[in-house]
Amino acid sequence: MLDMRIAGGTIVDGTGGEPFVGDVMVKDGSIVEVRRTDGASNGTPEAAETIDATGRLVTPGFVDIHTHYDGQVSWDPLLEPSSGNGVTTVVSGNCGVGFAPVRPGTEDWLISLMEGVEDIPGTALTEGITWGWETFPEYLDVIGKRELSVDFGVQVPHGSVRAYAMGTRGAKNEPASPEDIAAMAVIVREAMAAGALGFSTSRTIAHKAMDGEPVPGTYAAEDELFALGRAMAAGGGGRGIFELAPAGGTGDDLLAPMRELDWMQRLSKEIDRPVSFALVQVHSAPDEWRELMDLSAAAYEAGSQLYPQVAARPFGMLIGFPGHNPFSHRPTFRRICELPLEERGAELSKPAIKAAILSEDDLPVDPSKQFDAMHLGLQAACDQIYSMGQPLDYEPTPDQTVAALAEAAGMSGLEMFYDLMLAENAQALLLLPFFNYVGGDHEVIREMLLHPAGVSGLSDGGAHCGMICDASYPTYLLTHWARDRVRGEKLPLQYVVKKQTADTAHLFGLTDRGVIAAGKKADLNVIDFDALQLQTPRMAHDLPAGGRRLVQGATGYTETIVSGLVTRRNGVDTGARPGRLVRGPR
């Protein structure tokens, strides 16, 4: 008898092929047969559970390769919000930051590094992480005992490795000696041999710890990078991926990303392993992305293993009363923030409170706080901040900016800011795009998604808790790109499914998943495509120590299945915990 039969669904199998109606048979956590049908069930073996998928999509579970659940995995078996968006496998340890290896007594420093780079509340990490390791293999052993709702894989992060091997010198980005590099290489080899999926580093100057120091490894020379790349390949027995957040072309050094691409290509060729990097459009160099894309596409066509990670929508910041907003330094607003959460909306709605907040001067900025001056920039950015409306519109038009709405209503920009954020009981959020929206539409993103080697990435699940909530990228790829887009061409449904299933799984060597075929892992989604909808992002205070985070769920996932067990039904956790640590082949 089968454990499960998913009957009569429209199967989008992850290969990029045309969808077809059929049944998916599951036993012992694996797909044992995929049968094309006309909906009839004659001759079908009995199953302990039959899911009627008539009129619904059946897809592989989504594989999200760019998350930061390195700490959250130690206390949260759900790994939300990713698990609520059809994701069945996550990969952490990106951007050179993570929590292993760690010298005893330096745990707080790693927390401050993660907090600074990824905006995860340090208090939540301090209270939530259940330490119990020093080396990277020990970290894998600890996490390997966890029972989760999704599978979890991790890369070994350059920042942690450098600090462990070099101490304060490594943390402060001092040059590595040959002895330092040799010590780091041993750590990377051991981590890969234990099952790490790859190695990650950051070259991005904006990635800084809470003390303002860039991530260890940001300025690493080629001898260090190449030695660690070779160690990764050797320790992995010819497997593993080298992932990086590359240098940005800003200021006087607009050619930096081109130089980065050169060494990435040479490294990939030498170690015969994929190198994956973030590809984004920045305002300071709006055409640079195209040069990077064209060069990397040509390199890929010539046999190089360069894989850009691209975002599904503009990467930016959500602004509202619950988080960062233009009034965060006004005395009256500060007083209201001390009230219980459920009382704040009513208080902010009072005309006298609104008048007081709008008329007040800002309190002085504390230069020691990384995000303290951000509100001043928000006040001056009315022409760059958009109201997303309902349903949510991540491709808004110029008439949806705060400035345009204010002009049309005959009021000041700050007044319009206040009124827009006051909606939904003062929980409404506005969009400030940082990247990928220079032209005011999604055409740049569409071109990136069509890159022959591009994969869907950069969701940052678990990170940037007070600023963004892009763990919902997998849902957005389906709703916006395959169904709803009106300001340009859509992308085929089977294409966007492949981008976040077979393509992402293949990049990380996870060949047991990502497609619906006999012998593959039974990680699946059953989706009511017509009803699939992203929910409005909301601020929750559900992290340890009451830490805040933006979460965004979705409706329309009728079943999410991991290893043949239903983990979510109609968006609700079932309590099943089939997810496990994913180790590379050893």
* pLDDT tens sequence across 320-356: 999 999 999 999 999 999 998 889 999 999 999 999 9
Rounded CA separation 136/141 (Å): 9
Residue 268 lies in a domain: yes
Kindly tell me if the per-residue pLDDT of 41 is higher than 60: no
Residue 568, phi-psi category: left (phi > 0), alpha (psi -120 to 50), beta (remainder): beta
**Within this chain, do residues 296 and 160 fall inside the same structural domain, yes or no?**
yes
State which of 433, 456, 474 marks the end of a domain.
Answer: 433
**Within this chain, do residues 74 and 160 fall inside the same structural domain, yes or no?**
yes
**Within this chain, do residues 81 and 124 fall inside the same structural domain, yes or no?**
yes
Q: What is the CATH number of the domain that holds 470?
A: 3.20.20.140
Residue 302 lies in a domain: yes
- Region 187-202: mean pLDDT is 98
**Within this chain, do residues 339 and 385 fall inside the same structural domain, yes or no?**
yes
**Within this chain, do residues 340 and 289 fall inside the same structural domain, yes or no?**
no
pLDDT band at 572 (very low <50, low <70, confident <90, very high): very high
pLDDT band at 253 (very low <50, low <70, confident <90, very high): very low
State which of 470, 489, 508 marks the end of a domain.
Answer: 508
Structure tokens at 580: 């496990």
Kindly tell me if the per-residue pLDDT of 250 is higher than 70: no
pLDDT tens for residues 3-21?
999 999 999 999 999 999 9
pLDDT, residue 418, reads 97
Q: Which amino acid is at 219?
A: Y
**Within this chain, do residues 251 and 137 fall inside the same structural domain, yes or no?**
yes
**Contact (CB, 8 A) for 510 and 89:** yes
Residue 88 lies in a domain: yes
Q: Which residue has the tokens 């966007």?
A: 496
pLDDT, residue 364, reads 86
**Within this chain, do residues 108 and 128 fall inside the same structural domain, yes or no?**
yes
Residue 532 lies in a domain: no
**Within this chain, do residues 304 and 332 fall inside the same structural domain, yes or no?**
no
Please tell me what DSSP assigns to residue 521: B
**Within this chain, do residues 265 and 249 fall inside the same structural domain, yes or no?**
yes
Q: What is the pTM of this model?
A: 0.95
Structure tokens at 215: 């991530």
- Region 53-77: mean pLDDT is 98
Kindly tell me if the per-residue pLDDT of 110 is higher than 60: yes
**Within this chain, do residues 139 and 275 fall inside the same structural domain, yes or no?**
yes
pLDDT, residue 285, reads 85
Residue 499 lies in a domain: yes
All residues at 6 or more sequence positions from 325 whose CB lies less than 8 Å from its CB, including other chains? 319, 375, 378, 417, 421
Rounded alpha-carbon distances, angstroms, from residue 210 to 44, 117, 237, 248: 59, 8, 36, 20
Q: Are strands 455-456 and 524-527 parallel, antiparallel or unpaired?
A: unpaired
All residues at 6 or more sequence positions from 545 whose CB lies less than 8 Å from its CB, including other chains? 121, 123, 124, 126, 127, 128
Q: Are strands 572-573 and 565-569 parallel, antiparallel or unpaired?
A: antiparallel
* CA proximity to 243, closest of 467, 551, 521, 508: 508
Residue 50 lies in a domain: no
pLDDT tens for residues 258-297?
678 889 999 999 999 999 999 999 888 898 888 888 888 8
Q: Which amino acid is at 2?
A: L
**Within this chain, do residues 75 and 102 fall inside the same structural domain, yes or no?**
yes
Kindly tell me if the per-residue pLDDT of 58 is higher than 70: yes
All residues at 6 or more sequence positions from 230 whose CB lies less than 8 Å from its CB, including other chains? 185, 270, 271
**Within this chain, do residues 358 and 453 fall inside the same structural domain, yes or no?**
no
Structure tokens at 445: 């993103």
The residue range of the domain holding 242 is 62-314+437-508
CB neighbour burial string for 27-46, b if at least 16 within 10 angstroms, e if fewer: bebbbbbbeebeeeeeebee
Number of structural domains the chain divides into = 2
Rounded CA separation 376/354 (Å): 18
Residue 199 lies in a domain: yes
110 CA to centre of own chain: 20
State which of 492, 508, 524 marks the end of a domain.
Answer: 508
Rounded CA separation 568/149 (Å): 9
Rounded CA separation 362/110 (Å): 33
Residue 569 lies in a domain: no
Rounded CA separation 433/435 (Å): 6
